[in-house]
Amino acid sequence: MSARLSRHALGALTVPLALTFLGAASGPAPAAAAKEKQPGRPNVVFVLADDLGWADLSTGRTNQGNGNDFIQTPAIDRLAREGMSFDNGYACVMCAPSRSALLTGLYAQRPDNNIYLGAELNSGGDDTLLVGPPQGLADGNPVLPPHAVTVAETLQSAGYRTGYIGKFHVTKNAAEIVSAHGFDENFGGSESGNAKVYHAENGKFDASIGPALNAFAAPYTQAYVDQNLKPYAHGVSGKALDALVGTQKHVTDALSDAAVNFIDRNSGRPFFTWLSQYAVHSPVGDAQARSDLLAKYKAATPGKDPAKPSYAALVEGLDQSVARVIDHLDRTPDPRNPGHVLADNTLVVFSSDNGGRTDLGGYNGPLKGQKGELDEGGVRVPWIVWSKNKRLVRGGTINSSPINGTDLYPTLAAYAGAKLPSGVPFDGTNLRPAFTTGAPVVRPRFAHLPGYKNGGARDQRPETTVRDGRWKLGYTYEDQRWHLYDLGNDIGETNDLASRRPDVVARLGTEIVRWLDRTDAPLATLRAGRPPLELQVRGTTYSAKTVRHYARSTTLRVQPGDEVPLVLPNS
């Protein structure tokens, strides 16, 4: 593990430095060098949206033609058009497990992750058949253990400056983001899972947002609006934008400020900027939207897709943040590569931490389900990778390979030339060959939730799934049933083929059994006070970290407190 830096953001940053970036880079971009040379290790900017639905972007490139007809996202659309889009990108069911997987490169059941939901696993109440296992640390707190080696630590050990901007969630406190998780600086990250209020008040953000971001919380000025909002506005009058002057800063804009500032102060060496927006997580309402964007969408004519103006305003504010960061990379000279701008040697990755909340205005298109569920609508998310350097990304392409959050860590390590820590059983795939050539990625992708996420129009019960090629197989533990969908022909998961394709169930079910065994995955247990379960088994089971094979029909008796097994019948 790399040595940890203990410097905190407020101690490292002076306010004058924090305020020097507010205008766009002055002067024209430098002319291209007469003789192209191989640049040094690339910078990395990772932008993570919060709760952005698969079909919340207006581009159709990330969602198989299901672009949103109400929300406008021109900047992200540009990344999708010029970069490589993945229309089968996956995350976890909720914010916390996705962030843990991205940071560690590990599936939830690994000891250095052990986060399945943002809260305990028994939201179904006391009447459910099963009980989920403990998660997080020994005290039950769903946060990363301090000894987990994050992608930031690995890049930090390779000489990168690492900056975290925005929602972190999987930490005990804001200080640990720097002291324990490999980031040199942190602006806005804390233990909170959302911004309780999106706007600052009296030049400070709500306590749910890490206090270092207050360096960027000053009310809007005319210069700020002219330089940082008007160039990226679409369909909003200058008068509406000028009306922002003197009003309280929106957290989305403040996070953009912090990201650009971090890039400016660290461009003399390779940098890793993790920009984790609070948008579009709840609360979603008129009070949380920026007034110019709210007015735009209230006046807009709805199409066929959901049209909640306050939600759309948060999404377009997120898009403007991306526009500002990309524009800054496009215009800022690269001190490590004279004659070039930063965008010529920067890898930009954009994604979301889970599917959209359809009950709050999010849209997942034809996908079934929403955030908190293992249906496609809960776990399929936009994925885009972009660079102006064709050596870093093969642009203008769509890759339909299934990929997921665990892939980020080994991919960034490969780009950075960083050595992966020894002894860590990484679950991800290095996607650099796919990013640079468009090569397919052939590897099954698993998900495991040994508990409940109920309420808010959601009904997720203990389940394990695998996505392999066009097939998705799932096992539900309460009823010991397999479910099989051909996502190539049935993206909405409407036609269960398990009874008609026992060969596929047997093949993919074996993959699940081996994966559960390989990762020592915990299962839900039979609730105390319930009568024992009797299961007739002829085939293979997994429970208590053990695989067993039964050649003959055998009665298994599951007592309260015992794990309820996965059962794969002989085909």
Instruction: Looking at 427-482, list the stretches that DSSP marks H as alpha helix, in order from N- to C-terminal side.
Output: 432-437
Using the Cα atoms of residue 538, residue 543, residue 546 and residue 547 in order, give the sign of their dihedral: positive
pLDDT (mean) for 535-564: 97
Q: Are residues 438 and 481 in the same domain?
A: no
Q: Are residues 507 and 435 in the same domain?
A: no
Q: Are residues 423 and 516 in the same domain?
A: no
Query: Would the pLDDT of 4 be above 70?
Result: no
Q: Are residues 230 and 99 in the same domain?
A: yes
pLDDT (mean) for 454-473: 93
Q: How far apart are CA 136 and CA 106, in angstroms?
A: 14
Which residue is associated with the tokens 């270092």? 212
How do residues 395-425 score in pLDDT, each as one tens digit?
Answer: 999 999 999 999 999 999 999 999 999 999 9
pLDDT in the model for residue 118: 84
Query: Would the pLDDT of 6 be above 70?
Result: no
Q: Which residues, 6+ apart, have CB-to-CB distance to 487 below 8 Å? A: 376, 467, 470, 471, 472, 493
Supply the CATH number for residue 507's domain: 3.30.1120.10
How do residues 154-207 score in pLDDT, each as one tens digit?
Answer: 999 999 999 999 999 999 999 999 999 999 999 999 999 999 999 999 999 999
Q: Is 211 helix (H, G, I), strand (E, B) or coil?
A: helix
Out of 442, 472, 496, a domain closes at 442
Number of domains in the chain: 2
- 8 Å CB contact between 261 and 17: yes
Q: Which domain holds residue 292?
A: 9-26+41-122+131-442
Query: Would the pLDDT of 37 be above 90?
Result: no
Q: Is residue 452 part of a domain?
A: no
Q: How far apart are CA 246 and CA 238, in angstroms?
A: 15
445 CA to centre of own chain: 16
Task: Please provide the DSSP assignment of 375-391 as one string.
Answer: SHHHHEEEEEEE-S-TT
pLDDT in the model for residue 394: 97
Q: Is residue 32 part of a domain?
A: no
How do residues 298-320 score in pLDDT, each as one tens digit?
Answer: 999 999 999 999 999 999 999 99
Q: 3 or 266: which carries more pLDDT confidence?
A: 266
Name the band, by pLDDT with cuts 50, 70 and 90, for residue 26.
Answer: very low
Q: Are residues 398 and 474 in the same domain?
A: no
Q: Are residues 88 and 228 in the same domain?
A: yes
* Range with the poorest average pLDDT among 25-29, 237-241, 451-455, 501-505: 25-29
Q: Is residue 447 part of a domain?
A: no
Q: How far apart are CA 156 and CA 5, in angstroms?
A: 10
pLDDT in the model for residue 279: 98
Supply the CATH number for residue 416's domain: 3.40.720.10
Q: Are residues 290 and 347 in the same domain?
A: yes
Q: Using H for helix, E for strand and C for coil, what is the string for 59-125?
A: CCCCCCCCCCCCCCCHHHHHHHHHCEEEEEEECCCCHHHHHHHHHHCCCCCCCCCCCCCCCCCECCC
For residue 157, the surrounding DSSP H or E stretch is helix 151-157
Average per-residue pLDDT for the chain:
93
Q: Is residue 31 part of a domain?
A: no
How do residues 103-124 score in pLDDT, each as one tens digit?
Answer: 999 999 999 999 999 878 888 8
Q: Is 221 helix (H, G, I), strand (E, B) or coil?
A: coil
Out of 375, 409, 442, a domain closes at 442
Name the band, by pLDDT with cuts 50, 70 and 90, for residue 27.
Answer: very low
pLDDT in the model for residue 19: 33
Tokens of 131: 């009980």
Task: Please provide the DSSP assignment of 511-523 as one string.
Answer: HHHHHHHHHT---
Q: Is residue 78 part of a domain?
A: yes
Q: Are residues 420 and 494 in the same domain?
A: no
Q: Is residue 453 part of a domain?
A: no
Task: Please provide the DSSP assignment of 278-333 as one string.
Answer: -TTSSP-SGGGS-HHHHHHHHHSPP-SS---HHHHHHHHHHHHHHHHHHHHHHHSB
Q: Is residue 57 part of a domain?
A: yes
Q: Are residues 304 and 177 in the same domain?
A: yes
- 8 Å CB contact between 188 and 167: yes
Q: Are residues 144 and 293 in the same domain?
A: yes
Question: Considering only CA atoms, which of 383, 373, 433 is closest in space to residue 87?
Answer: 383
Q: Is residue 454 part of a domain?
A: no
- Decide: pTM greater than 0.85: yes
Q: Are residues 431 and 484 in the same domain?
A: no
Q: Are residues 530 and 431 in the same domain?
A: no
How do residues 138-148 score in pLDDT, each as one tens digit?
Answer: 777 889 999 99
Q: Which residues, 6+ apart, have CB-to-CB distance to 137 below 8 Å? A: 143, 145
Task: Please provide the DSSP assignment of 328-365 as one string.
Answer: HHHHSB-TTSTT-BGGGGEEEEEEESS---TTTT---T
